[in-house]
Structure 1
Amino acid sequence: MNPVILLLIICTLFLHGDLSVNAATTRTVKVKAAPAGHSALSSPSIQITGDKNFITKTKAALKLLQEKAPDAYKITVTYIGRIQQHNFSGMAAYETPPTYKVGASTVNASLTWYASTIAHDAYHSKLYHDYLYTYKEAVPNEVWTGMDAEMKCLEIQIQALESMGASASEIEYAKSLRGKNWWDLNGDGDYNEDDEKIRDW
């Protein structure tokens, strides 16, 4: 079988299983159209999938970004198409639409922290899609994940925290992550599904 067709089948099966959320819990947040130029989104809206608490907190986080950190918000509405309640947090930039999956401890953190994580992961998606748009080829992992990418995303997160008037402790904590490989939870030097299994955010 053609490898491309096989990959499409696998992705379709993965997405179908991953999105088995009660349709009654799905809402769409209308946001401003993406800026001129390329966009990862097919429509100027972000779909929020989750329970009532998740939807309410996600709407509030997006509103806070829009009002206090407009640059981060512009990146968010350009490069995230879905924010989905999940077992742990992470950006699936390769999905259609690009999906930020959010774990319980992240959505239940302070509003400023949750909003800042949206900005952080939106930048992961920007790195992914800017490369894809420019080179029209498979995106190497190191372009949008790994130490260099994480540090770029962390700086966006810190800027968002400062713009939103987050607490000094949140800003200092984010700054303390500079240069640290916090996502390699099992310490084997490689980020993969083994780390995701033990992720608690």
Structure 2
Amino acid sequence: MDYNQIIDKLSVVLSTKRLQHSLGVSQSAAQLADRFGENVEKAKFAGVLHDCARGLASSTLLQKAASFAIVVNDVERCQPTLLHAPVGAYLAKNEYGVDDPQIFRAIMLHTTGGRDMTVLDKIIYLADCIEPSRDFPGIDKLRSLAFADLDKAVLAAFDQSLHYVIGLGLLIHPATVEGRNDLLQKINK
């Protein structure tokens, strides 16, 4: 499936707002990929598909996770929306014809992050935070940092995400803590 065919298919399964967000992530991911020497096409595809499972109900996400043999942890069981990332990776492969392991992994990690993130993983995680429709205190600083220092920007995005999740009184996914700690250790070496 080519990029425009994917957009056409997403326009049926995503709300208009979610589709615009996905297009913004794709655009931001392409810009970051260009800046940091990553494959721009892979970034565009991962960006546009990152939320392809976001519109699914919690019960459907849990069912699809089981059908894809995704191991669901306690945090995901309590907050099934977090499963839209790994489920989305499988949908990108099975329903959108994207058979690239780097794109698969970037989609899988775009919500929680994780240990040993690749450049593409970081780009998609960060693009999801800074795309043009995002508006929260500190967004301009994060956008500037994103194009100056990828690792420091991802670390700042982890911190912003943790503050947001704590503010909502939600559970913190262990992959986010592991990803932040891993990146912080690498930055401080």
TM range (shorter): 0.3 to 0.5
- Larger strand percent: 1
- Of structures 1 and 2, the one scoring higher in RCO (CA 8 A, sep 6+) is 2
